Amino acid sequence: MSLVEDIRKAAERYPRSKSAILPALRMAQEQYGWLPPEALAEVGEALGLTPAYCMAVASFYDMLHLEPVGTHTIEVCTNVCCGLVNAQAVLESFERELGVAPGETTADGSITLRAVECLGGCSTPTIVAVDGRYRQSVKPEDACAIVEELRGP
């Protein structure tokens, strides 16, 4: 099925199709890697909304990307609970390992590093979401292995 058909199917679960815009944008982002104008146009076509409206909604949410991101993402929680237990050192360890600052993508386009707000895993700091899945109790010395794992052999 095409993206437009997938979105229309997902929208059937809702009393009003506009409610499906977040799942639709998520599906589009999974397909394109981010939300380029053509992705927003497809979401709009599927739900009967303008691309501009889709962009307005997408720009509100932190997980929806209006610029290209890497094939993989590493997101380090730097809110206070993780911060009290050394999150800054974990973030800096990833910065050194990847050679990029938070918010940037490696030159080969493979990995984006981001700092994020509280991920809700405060009892096992530092929480790092790797491709959207939580790693718990990450220490600065773990950064190397995580990056190697993403880069592959």
The answer to whether the beta carbons of residues 124 and 136 sit under 8 Å apart is: yes
Tell me, residue by residue from 128 to 147, as one string, x for binding to another protein by CB under 8 A and - for no binding: -x--xxx-------------
CB of 29 to another protein, least distance (A): 9
Per-residue tokens: 8: 């229309």
Phi, psi of 27 (to 5 degrees): -65, -40
Per CB under 8 A, which of residues 21..50 are in contact with another protein? 21-23, 25-26, 47
Q: Which stretch binds another protein (CB under 8 A): 1-9, 126-134, 140-148?
A: 126-134
The secondary structure of 65-123, three-state, reads CCCCCCCEEEEEECCHHHHCCCHHHHHHHHHHHHCCCCCCECCCCCEEEEEECCCCCCC
d(CA 67, CA 80): 28
The answer to whether the beta carbons of residues 85 and 121 sit under 8 Å apart is: no
End-to-end CA distance of the chain, in Å?
A: 34
Measured from the CB atom, the residue of 71 and 83 that comes closer to another protein is 83
CB of 129 to another protein, least distance (A): 6
Tell me, residue by residue from 54 to 93, as one string, x for binding to another protein by CB under 8 A and - for no binding: --xx--xxxxx-------------xxxx-xxxxxx--x--
CB of 124 to another protein, least distance (A): 8
Q: Which residues bind another protein (CB under 8 A)?
A: 13-16, 18-23, 25-26, 47, 56-57, 60-64, 78-81, 83-88, 91, 102-103, 114-125, 129, 132-134
